[in-house]
């Protein structure tokens, strides 16, 4: 593989991309540990696909905002390095698939030309910061949260405190009490509030989906905006230090908050205050709240062939903005998939006839903003030509689905296949529900809930089911979830597991019964509460019978061959090397990072790089002793017990006091210099100890 060099003007970004290229070469040559390499590439948006030899690349788009220039760039990259297909995620990102690992640095460098990054789109990092797609145009919002979401994204991008956490960390910003960014399922969720004329947020802490969903705790009913970044930084420092690292299924922050309690967690956050960065990002309010840059254009004349469809489209897909005379146009994108040629034409539309901005939504759709009322017929006609004028934006027919077994390593059953079929059932058999707002349908290919199935009124989770010695694709049916607003929500109950091919019939049974049994104006969630879980189990239990499966039941939706349960296939295999040596090598790299940050006068960053080097070095020789390294706090405690108290390594103090100096000292130049020197001296002690131990083996 030839060495690659970028043309990026930003030296930090250029170094990042060149480092990825270098690590790929080392991995190919068997000189980089597979697990550490996986961690590095995931933190750079490169994810192993189900299909061997190719990667999924996740393009990080903060709060889903994209300009025409960025849309053109994403389309060009997809054509050059992928298949031209673009997939919108439930976190407002774009994913492209079937990318060669060796070409990912070059791909990244192309994206950066229009200020688009892959950095921290995957991995154990702060993931894409999401926000209400109608933030800034919502008539109900107290203020536009965009500037605050953007500042959060910028401050924590490449921030050393959140590069190698035990698990991913998710943050959202909701523009109003409708909570359209779903604060209650996030590690930190923020809802815009105004109190005594001042801006702030209601704060939700410790939520999450997955196999064990947890409703976030209300942390503050009002947090002034100036305290936003310090709070997030303190929470991340605690999660990095005390979060589980060994047991992956227990490594999300929701488990830490649940185990020690909100009050104890916040006591740990309070202990971080001295060490917090003294730098604060500016909230670019004027930039994001300025009037949209609308061009003066002649209104194109169009002929509407189907006036009834046009009126339905306006009623379901068009929203009046708080800016007088302007509208947002919702584009329903089935399964979140569209293509590069369509992306370019959308780019032309928003550049020439709107505010040069669209936002990808959490329901895998597109929201075009700042469209003048007199241009709505033209937009409808143009979108119809692109096949993007389907009604039902944010309505029942707008089904959410993750990629499932199409490309994901963890997929158990096809989520996109069943979603496609259920949409047809709604359109053809239940037109009365198509544009209903009351029922959301969400589908995930596994328990990880990327399709958010366990917060929907009707949810489906991909599973497998046994019939004798054979295995068939299956769906867990979940009912009764939903968003209540202002930080409150409800999770769906698991009702029954059925073969996947019976999913459409399950939907028919549920909708038929709802129509027949629901009281006047009774919402689906209210109907579910009134009838209770057992009623729905009895309603669906006949579909769960596996004694009468036919040949077709063993073929998943969208597939032709019999189902084979395969999870975790597709990651590259590497040569087994010495993990301890790799960890010590990385500790030395972290010291170099600390010195780089010190040279830029980023004292807090340099201190944290040094801290991670110290913990990493301690972890290395604890692993050599076959000790558990579940959390950083455990590493520090065990190192004292095994190496300091026993006299094997002399630090002149306890390892806890040595390490936690960063909690007791403000991030000054003097302390940063001393702490880096301490980290380097400690690394040398550990490296020497390791070398001596190896000689005696």
Tokens matching residue 379: 């937009």
Mean pLDDT across the chain: 90
What would the mean pLDDT of 62-89 be, rounded to a whole number? 96
What would the mean pLDDT of 87-114 be, rounded to a whole number? 93
* CATH number of the 11-112 domain: 3.90.480.20
Say if residue 579's pLDDT is above 60.
yes
What would the mean pLDDT of 131-159 be, rounded to a whole number? 97
For residues 464 and 441, which has the higher predicted lDDT (pLDDT)?
441
Say if residue 6's pLDDT is above 60.
no
219 touches 257 (CB < 8 A): no
What would the mean pLDDT of 17-42 be, rounded to a whole number? 81
Report the predicted TM-score, pTM, of the whole model to 2 decimal places.
0.90
Does domain 303-385 fall under CATH 3.30.70.3340? My reply is yes
For residues 620 and 561, which has the higher predicted lDDT (pLDDT)?
620
Give 574-582's long-range contacts (Cβ < 8 A, gap of 24+): 574/27, 574/30, 574/32, 574/33, 574/34, 574/37, 575/30, 576/34, 577/30, 577/31, 577/32, 577/33, 579/33, 579/35, 579/36, 579/623, 580/620, 580/621, 580/623, 580/624, 580/690, 582/32, 582/33, 582/36
Q: Give Cα separations from 354 to 69, 71, 331, 669 (angstroms).
A: 14, 14, 14, 48
pLDDT of amino acid 31: 76
pLDDT of amino acid 1: 42
Q: Please, what CATH class does the domain formed by 579-695 belong to?
A: mainly alpha
Tokens matching residue 238: 């605690």
Q: Please, what CATH class does the domain formed by 400-554 belong to?
A: alpha beta
438 touches 476 (CB < 8 A): no
| 394/397 Cα distance (integer angstroms) | 8
Portions of the chain given CATH number 3.90.480.20: 11-112
pLDDT of amino acid 562: 76
25 touches 1 (CB < 8 A): yes
Tokens matching residue 399: 């089904």
| Closest by CA position to 665, among listed 607, 613, 601 | 607
For the beta carbon of residue 359, count every other beta carbon within 10 angstroms.
Answer: 24
Coil/strand/helix, residue 275:
helix
Say if residue 2's pLDDT is above 70.
no
| 359/320 Cα distance (integer angstroms) | 16
Topology (CATH level 3) of domain 130-279: Sulfite Reductase Hemoprotein; domain 1 (3.30.413)
Say if residue 570's pLDDT is above 70.
no
Residue 129: band (very low, low, confident or very high) from pLDDT cuts 50, 70, 90:
very high
| Closest by CA position to 655, among listed 674, 642, 671, 636 | 636
| Closest by CA position to 204, among listed 592, 486, 570, 586 | 486
| Closest by CA position to 687, among listed 587, 593, 596 | 587
pLDDT of amino acid 413: 75
For the beta carbon of residue 264, count every other beta carbon within 10 angstroms.
Answer: 12
Residue 695: band (very low, low, confident or very high) from pLDDT cuts 50, 70, 90:
low
| Closest by CA position to 293, among listed 352, 346, 373 | 352
pLDDT of amino acid 218: 98
pLDDT of amino acid 409: 63
pLDDT of amino acid 485: 95
Least-confidence region, from 20-34, 473-487, 569-583? 569-583
Tokens matching residue 633: 């706090």
Say if residue 109's pLDDT is above 50.
yes
Say if residue 155's pLDDT is above 70.
yes
| 249/27 Cα distance (integer angstroms) | 27
Residue 26: band (very low, low, confident or very high) from pLDDT cuts 50, 70, 90:
confident
pLDDT tens, 201-241?
999 999 999 889 999 999 999 999 999 999 999 999 999 99
pLDDT of amino acid 469: 76
Percentage of residues of the chain with pLDDT beyond 70: 95
Least-confidence region, from 84-93, 366-375, 619-628, 629-638? 619-628
CA neighbours closer than 13 Å in the CB half-sphere of residue 159? 26
Least-confidence region, from 273-287, 291-305, 577-591? 577-591
Q: Give 345's DSSP letter.
A: H
Say if residue 254's pLDDT is above 50.
yes
Least-confidence region, from 254-258, 473-477, 485-489, 583-587? 583-587
pLDDT of amino acid 14: 86
Say if residue 535's pLDDT is above 70.
yes
């Amino acid at each position: 593989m030839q060495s690659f060099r970028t043309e990026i003007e930003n030296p930090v970004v250029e170094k990042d991309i060149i480092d990825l290229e270098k690590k790929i070469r080392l991995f190919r040559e068997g000189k980089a540990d597979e697990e550490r390499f996986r961690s590095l590439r995931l933190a750079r948006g490169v994810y192993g696909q189900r299909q061997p030899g190719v990667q999924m690349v996740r393009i990080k788009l903060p709060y889903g905002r994209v300009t025409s220039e960025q849309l053109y760039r994403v389309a060009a990259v997809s054509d050059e390095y992928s298949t031209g297909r673009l997939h919108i995620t439930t976190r407002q990102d774009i994913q492209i698939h079937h990318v060669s690992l060796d070409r990912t640095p070059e791909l990244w460098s192309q994206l950066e030309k229009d200020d688009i990054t892959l950095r921290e789109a995957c991995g154990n990092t702060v993931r894409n910061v999401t926000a209400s797609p109608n933030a800034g145009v919502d008539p109900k919002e107290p203020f536009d949260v965009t500037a605050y979401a953007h500042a959060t994204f910028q401050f924590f991008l490449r921030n050393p405190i959140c590069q190698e956490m035990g698990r991913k960390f998710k943050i959202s910003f909701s523009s109003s009490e409708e909570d359209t960014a779903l604060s209650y399922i996030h590690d930190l969720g923020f809802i815009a509030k105004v109190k005594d004329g001042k801006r702030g947020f209601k704060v939700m802490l410790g939520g999450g989906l997955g196999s064990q969903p947890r409703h976030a705790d209300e942390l503050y009913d009002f947090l002034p905006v100036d305290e936003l970044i310090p709070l997030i930084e303190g929470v991340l420092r605690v999660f990095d230090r005390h979060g589980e690292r060994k047991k992956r299924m227990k490594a999300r922050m929701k488990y830490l908050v649940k185990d020690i309690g909100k009050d104890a967690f916040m006591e740990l956050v309070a202990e971080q205050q001295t060490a917090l960065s003294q730098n604060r990002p500016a909230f670019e309010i004027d930039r994001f709240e300025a009037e949209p840059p609308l061009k003066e254009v002649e209104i194109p004349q169009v002929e509407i062939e189907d006036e009834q469809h046009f009126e339905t489209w306006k009623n379901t897909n068009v929203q009046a903005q708080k800016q007088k005379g302007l509208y947002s146009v919702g584009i329903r994108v089935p399964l979140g998939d569209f293509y590069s040629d369509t992306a370019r034409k959308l780019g032309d539309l928003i550049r020439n006839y709107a505010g040069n901005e669209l936002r990808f939504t959490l329901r895998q759709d597109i929201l075009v903003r700042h469209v003048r009322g007199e241009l709505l017929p033209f937009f409808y006609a143009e979108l119809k030509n692109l096949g993007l004028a389907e009604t039902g934006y944010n309505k029942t027919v707008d089904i959410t689905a993750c990629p499932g077994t199409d490309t994901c390593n963890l997929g158990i059953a096809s989520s996109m296949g069943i979603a496609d079929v259920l949409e047809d059932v709604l359109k053809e058999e239940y037109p009365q529900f198509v544009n209903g707002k009351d029922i959301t349908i969400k589908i995930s290919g596994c328990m990880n809930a990327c399709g958010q199935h366990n917060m929907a009124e009707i949810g489906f989770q991909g599973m497998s089911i046994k019939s004798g010695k054979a295995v068939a694709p299956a769906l867990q049916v979940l009912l009764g979830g939903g968003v209540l607003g202002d930080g409150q929500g409800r999770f769906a109950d698991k009702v029954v597991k059925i073969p996947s091919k019976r999913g459409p019939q399950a939907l028919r049974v549920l909708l038929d019964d709802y129509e027949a049994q629901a009281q006047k104006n009774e919402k689906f969630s209210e109907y579910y509460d009134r009838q209770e879980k057992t009623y729905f189990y009895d309603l669906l239990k006949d579909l769960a019978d596996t004694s009468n499966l036919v040949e077709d039941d063993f073929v998943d939706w969208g597939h032709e061959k019999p189902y084979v349960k395969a999870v975790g296939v597709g990651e590259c295999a590497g040569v087994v090397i010495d993990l301890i040596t790799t960890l010590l090598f990385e500790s030395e790299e972290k010291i170099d990072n600390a010195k780089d940050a010190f040279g830029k006068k980023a004292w807090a960053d340099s201190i944290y790089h040094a801290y991670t080097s110290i913990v990493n070095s301690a972890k290395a020789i604890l692993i050599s002793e076959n000790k558990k390294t579940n959390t950083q706090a455990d590493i520090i405690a065990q190192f004292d017990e095994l190496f300091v108290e026993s006299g094997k390594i002399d630090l002149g103090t306890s390892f806890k006091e040595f390490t936690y100096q960063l909690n007791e000292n403000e991030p000054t130049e003097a302390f940063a210099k001393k702490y880096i020197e301490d980290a380097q001296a400690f690394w040398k002690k550990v490296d020497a100890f390791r070398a001596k131990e190896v000689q005696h083996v």
